[in-house]
């Protein structure tokens, strides 16, 4: 019994060794093989060949056998060029093509996330971001919406509420708190709003009716059509007035004939449309220290009652949750790309 077992092990080991030798031989043959390039762009891996009349007799490095192909199908110019390039150490065409594809993917990815400072890009998931400078370091900090019962976990969402024309002819947009949690140390902060990746929500009928968690996001085509018709430059900056323990962003008035108008201290700004659905809002002149907000204009409905508030205070402490400049990674040596033969 033991002798049979030992014999079986020996036979199995012999088969394994033979397989490894064959595999190594095949891999070595393919590594040393030349390319017999055909006019349709494909090629055959061959260790050697010779022209016999109107046919090319070659030894296949993949199938380890002699095969034939019509001479009229071989692109001899491309075959000779490839061999000369390989001898000169030039990269294979597949490697060049792969580099082009990777570069195109990199550029497409960067187009989605514009660079706002050296080594600092906007996030993938959208939002409203303020570009600040603290102690000479550029930083991105996300602005959250304030006003009404706002769910603080609504990252990337736009909450909306419109005035009820029946309840009152005037409504004040009030934000609780004497100061915003986010303070800009730079007098000329740039604010970036992503209007495509935002998960726009249904408008509440009134601010008073808006209670608890936000309504379900629209999923039908009409919601998408509505978002596509909205002006990309509908976001503005207003100077807020402090009033005790709250701040006033503006007033919305409705005339007896139904026309809606808003009164607010708008800051002159420049609005620029960027790639990836981002919009850049920048004050035209340095901001005075105080409280501000990014507001959304809703056309005939007036101003959104939910705003993104921030302040400008050069001596304010550092903001929390900022996105810092990306540190350059240590240079890694280029690794040769592994190309699979066809």
Opening angle at CA 235, ends 305 and 153, nearest 5: 55
Kindly report, residue by residue over 145-166, the tens digit of the pLDDT.
887 444 444 444 566 665 544 4
> Quick check: is 158 in a domain?
yes
Tokens at 190, concatenated: 């740039």
Name the DSSP class of 318.
P
The string over 284-321, giving b where at least 16 C-beta atoms fall within 10 Å of a residue's C-beta and e elsewhere, is eeebeeebbbbbbbbeebbbbbbbbbbbbeeebeebee
Claim to verify: residue 60 and residue 156 sit in the same structural domain: no
Claim to verify: residue 33 and residue 137 sit in the same structural domain: no
Claim to verify: residue 163 and residue 204 sit in the same structural domain: yes
Q: How many domains does the chain have?
A: 2
> Quick check: is 137 in a domain?
yes
pLDDT on residue 100: 75
> Quick check: is 255 in a domain?
yes
Instruction: Give the residue, 263 or 35, on which the prediction is more confident.
Output: 35
Claim to verify: residue 190 and residue 292 sit in the same structural domain: yes
> Quick check: is 105 in a domain?
no
Mean pLDDT across the stretch 206-213? Answer: 42
Kindly report, residue by residue over 276-331, the tens digit of the pLDDT.
889 999 999 999 999 999 998 887 766 788 899 999 999 999 999 888 765 444 44
Could you tell me the residue range of the domain that residue 57 belongs to?
A: 8-90
Largest pairwise CA distance in the chain: 107
């Amino acid at each position: 019994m033991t002798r049979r077992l030992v014999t079986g092990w020996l036979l199995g080991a012999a088969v394994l060794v033979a397989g490894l030798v064959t595999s190594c031989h095949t891999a070595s043959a393919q590594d040393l093989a030349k390319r017999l390039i055909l006019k349709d762009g494909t090629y055959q891996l061959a260790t050697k060949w010779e022209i016999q009349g109107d046919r090319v007799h070659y030894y296949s490095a993949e199938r380890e056998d002699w095969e034939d192909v019509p001479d009229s199908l071989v692109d001899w110019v491309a075959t000779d060029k490839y061999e000369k390039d390989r001898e000169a150490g030039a990269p294979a065409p597949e490697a060049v093509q792969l580099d082009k594809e990777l570069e195109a993917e990199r550029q497409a990815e960067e187009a989605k996330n514009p660079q706002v400072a050296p080594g600092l890009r906007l996030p993938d998931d959208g939002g409203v971001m303020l570009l600040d400078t603290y102690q000479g370091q550029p930083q991105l900090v996300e602005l959250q919406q304030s006003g009404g019962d706002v769910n603080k976990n609504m990252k990337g969402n736009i909450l909306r509420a419109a005035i009820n024309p029946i309840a009152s002819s005037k409504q004040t947009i009030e934000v609780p708190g004497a100061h915003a949690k986010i303070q800009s140390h730079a007098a000329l902060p740039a604010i970036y709003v992503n209007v495509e990746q935002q998960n726009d929500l249904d408008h509440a009928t009134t601010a008073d009716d808006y209670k608890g968690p936000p309504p379900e996001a629209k999923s039908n085509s009409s919601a998408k059509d509505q978002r596509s018709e909205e002006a990309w430059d509908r976001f503005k900056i207003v100077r807020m007035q402090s009033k005790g323990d709250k701040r006033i962003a503006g007033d919305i008035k409705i005339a007896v004939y139904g026309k809606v108008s808003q009164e607010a201290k708008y800051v002159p700004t420049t609005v620029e449309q960027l790639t990836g659905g981002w919009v850049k809002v920048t004050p035209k002149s340095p901001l005075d220290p105080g409280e501000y907000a990014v507001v959304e204009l809703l056309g005939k409905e007036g101003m959104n009652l939910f705003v993104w508030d921030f302040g400008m205070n050069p001596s304010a402490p550092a903001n929390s949750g900022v996105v810092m400049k990306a540190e350059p990674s240590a240079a890694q040596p280029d690794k040769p790309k592994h190309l699979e033969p066809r």
